[in-house]
């Protein structure tokens, strides 16, 4: 005998909401970030559209579109995630505008097509700086604000199936080194953050997409797109509608038992 009580199940719809939440999405003028920022707003959150300062005008357009569509508050903030000062200023700007931060999709990242063991070290460092160190700094600053405000939260990091497998990107068949290292690191960063932050009620998890048509594949020609689509068991790329659900799940109370999980969503690419 023990004191455990089996609860009645509650409404899935009631738990799948972000009403009254304040959210940040980095890389939010890009494909995946714009999609999740839009979906957060549809679920009721106010959303900060965060991207490189050079893209502030594009970010303002995304922010205005989302505010018009869903009637939530949005702001656009220029922030280079490789710069700690930019991140501190961004967190302060969002906190000033919305009062606090509950949900963070740390999604800014770069992808390089021709990435192999002979790449210049400066290029390697740049990829690590954005995809891993930048993610660490965004996680840290946002978590510190959540701790200060004492209400917990949810941080979702965009990793990649390249954090699970070493894949190649181009038909020449180079296997990726820097990108896969950055994403493998981000997956483990997520778990380390998760185990430390859960005592503050902050859940940190990651998503690992496979090939999604996000706009980041414009450098590929049709032969390559067809080749990579055919290499996946589902025989096609995924799209933005297929990624938003898992990010919203992790952001909302529906995902309240996810801690340090990495959700692989790859059309079966990592099976074989």
Ligand X SMILES: NC(=O)c1ccc[n+]([C@@H]2O[C@H](COP(=O)([O-])OP(=O)(O)OC[C@H]3O[C@@H](n4cnc5c(N)ncnc54)[C@H](O)[C@@H]3O)[C@@H](O)[C@H]2O)c1
User: Looking at the annotation, which residues are catalytic?
Assistant: 160, 179, 183
Structure token pair of residue 54: 């050079």
User: How many whole angstroms separate alpha carbon 205 and alpha carbon 189?
Assistant: 10
- Pick between residue 31 and residue 185 the one whose CB is nearest to ligand X: 31
| Residue 96, strand partner residues | none
Least spacing, CB of residue 181 vs ligand X, in Å: 13
Sheet containing 46-51: order of strands: 74-78, 46-51, 22-26, 103-106, 153-158, 202-209, 262-265
- Pick between residue 11 and residue 222 the one whose CB is nearest to ligand X: 222
Complete DSSP assignment for 184-209: HHHHHHHHHHHHHHGGGTEEEEEEEE
Q: What is residue 91's DSSP assignment?
A: H
C-alpha 122 chain-centroid distance: 25
| Residue 47, strand partner residues | 23, 74
Binding residues for ligand X, rule: CB under 6 A, are 26-27, 29-33, 51-52, 55, 79-82, 107-111, 130, 134, 158, 160, 209, 211-212, 214-216
Structure token pair of residue 161: 């199936």
Instruction: Give yes or no for a contact between 160 and 183, defined as CB atoms under 8 angstroms apart.
Output: yes
- Pick between residue 216 and residue 259 the one whose CB is nearest to ligand X: 216
Least spacing, CB of residue 107 vs ligand X, in Å: 5
- Pick between residue 58 and residue 253 the one whose CB is nearest to ligand X: 58
Least spacing, CB of residue 15 vs ligand X, in Å: 26
Give me the long-range contacts of 2-7 (CB less than 8 A, separation at least 24). Answer: none
- Pick between residue 88 and residue 200 the one whose CB is nearest to ligand X: 88
Least spacing, CB of residue 236 vs ligand X, in Å: 12
Least spacing, CB of residue 140 vs ligand X, in Å: 15
Instruction: Give yes or no for a contact between 169 and 223, defined as CB atoms under 8 angstroms apart.
Output: no
């Amino acid at each position: 005998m023990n004191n455990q009580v089996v609860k009645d199940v509650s409404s899935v719809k009631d738990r799948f909401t972000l009403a009254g939440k304040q959210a940040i999405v980095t890389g939010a003028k890009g494909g995946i970030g714009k999609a999740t920022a839009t979906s957060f707003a549809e679920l009721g959150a106010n959303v900060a559209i965060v991207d490189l300062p050079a893209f502030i005008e594009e970010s303002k357009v995304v922010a205005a579109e989302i505010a018009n569509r869903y009637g939530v508050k949005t702001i656009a903030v220029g922030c280079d995630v490789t710069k700690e000062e930019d991140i501190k200023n961004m967190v302060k700007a969002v906190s000033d505008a919305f009062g606090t931060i509950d949900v963070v999709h740390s999604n800014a990242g770069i992808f390089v097509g021709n990435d192999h063991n002979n790449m210049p070290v400066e290029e390697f460092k740049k990829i690590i700086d954005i995809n891993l160190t930048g993610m660490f700094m965004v996680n840290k600053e946002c978590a510190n604000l959540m701790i200060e405000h004492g209400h917990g939260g949810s941080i979702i990091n965009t990793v990649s199936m390249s954090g699970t497998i070493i894949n190649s990107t181009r038909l020449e068949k180079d296997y990726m080194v820097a990108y896969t290292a950055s994403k493998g690191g981000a997956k483990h960063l997520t778990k380390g953050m998760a185990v430390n932050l859960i005592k503050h009620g902050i859940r940190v998890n990651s998503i690992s997409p496979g090939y999604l048509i996000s706009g980041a594949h414009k450098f590929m020609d049709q032969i390559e797109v067809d080749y990579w689509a055919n290499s996946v068991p589902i025989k096609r790329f995924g799209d933005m509608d297929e990624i938003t659900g898992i990010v919203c799940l992790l952001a909302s109370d529906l995902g309240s038992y996810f801690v340090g999980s990495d959700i692989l969503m790859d059309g079966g690419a990592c099976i074989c």
